[in-house]
Structure 1
Amino acid sequence: MKKTIAIIGLTSLAGFYAIFSKPNQLKPQTIPTAQHVDSLKEDESESSIVKLYKEIALEGKLKFEAFEMAMKGYQNMSFKNKDIITVIDFSLPSTEKRMAVIDLKNKKMLFHTIVSHGRNSGEKYATSFSNSHGSHQSSLGFYKTSNTYQGGNGYSLVLDGLEKGINDQAKPRAVVVHGADYCSQSIINSTGRLGRSYGCPALPRDLAKPIINTIKDGTMLFIYAENKTYLAQSKVLKAKPTTLIAQKDIAEIQAGQGVMN
């Protein structure tokens, strides 16, 4: 009899603990890992870029892929002038408008124009890129615009290449934004493509000055192409976004404020 009572008592006690521990087992609360937080930031980044692309009405004017990469780099770096960005899409032929100057603050495109690539980068399309002196090729990636000057090609804008081994020799190579007679619709009409530079993103003469004055002094310029080598080498694009969720918010989440299931 005593053994039977003892067994019943133990069974009841086990049931008691099972009942009150079961809810916690069904709904465990876990503090998100750094990887989880990064995933949240990336998701938020994607949605905000898509929204901005639509608000500026860039469809049919600038490939989403080019804009997306430009914005990811923009989020991962700091620029003196954050309102203006320039995106050059070298996946397009030189006969098409492939430079876009965008006002992020007011959400509108300021300029949309043709632009020349380096003569050794290709004929109608730019397919080869280099950071080397004497290559006469264009360089991909992220740049910061600098000062202006009057040179052999007239009013020009200095570019600082921000990606080591990819475009950081732009300044020593004198790769600058300038106007050129060979960058015009008349050249396209007569030859089937634009004339080419020594690596500079050259503009139509009538647009060079207004564009340079708009993007000078610390704005971001990004040159895009569907180039696997660049994508594999770019540390800017591989960096984690840092501006979408404030560091204090991350700290609060990891401390247990706003615990996720």
Structure 2
Amino acid sequence: QIVHVNRAFIEITGYQVEDVMGHQPSLFKSGRHSPDFYEQMFRALNQEGEWSGEIWNRRKSGEIYPQWQTIRVIHDDQGRVSHYVAVFSDISAIKHSEHELAHLAHHDPLTDLPNRLLFTDRAEQALASAQIHKRGCALLMLDLDHFKIINDSLGHNVGDQLLKAVGERLQGLFGPGVTLARLGGDEFAVLAESCPQVVQAAALAQRIIDSMKQPFVFNGHQLFVSVSIGISLFPSDALSAEQLLRNADSALFKAKSSG
């Protein structure tokens, strides 16, 4: 039973002293942990006299939040367990920062699309699944034509706005099972997880080309942008995500060279 709490406890949890005195700490249970979690905690307390770890508890408002908690066993003069002292800190802000950092590590900061790292990871997962289920995949590499001219003549700010707008327009074309990414510069990539035939990949590429026929308007400028596309298919062209990317890149280079 709880016999003492300090002011920081009240500030973090929202509970007043009279709310918790005489109650058990299970009052704060979040429901996120299994019985095994608590069994391991008490095993450590019984064997080592101490437990430290991350635990999710509930504030008085009902909000579930993460704590970093250390519990120590206190013994009396006869060596018997008399109290447990728990010291904890609210690590919600740290968790939020970790989530943001993980997002930033896997997404392009300009368009918020998956970056090359996340796209490659998804491609590897898609190919592994495709191998098991005996289905085909297509990887399309896109490059905006003459993007450098827009950047040089109208400035990088307009160039960035254009890249964001292209990303948004492309996102509007695809449903589930298709991943769109920005790999860097004016290069985008599309992974279609269920694309068994060449004609389906070609039709997807044509939809992308057609979507670019409408102008993009910024600061009174009407910008018309076309795209070059390179296509690589699994399993006919490549058996790994790395090879699929490389082959699509080669096909894109050939498409650009051919005008």
Q: Pick the TM interval, shorter chain.
A: under 0.3
* Higher relative strand content: 2
What is the TM-score of this pair, normalised by structure 1? 0.25
Q: Which has the higher contact order (CA 8 A, sep 6+)?
A: 1
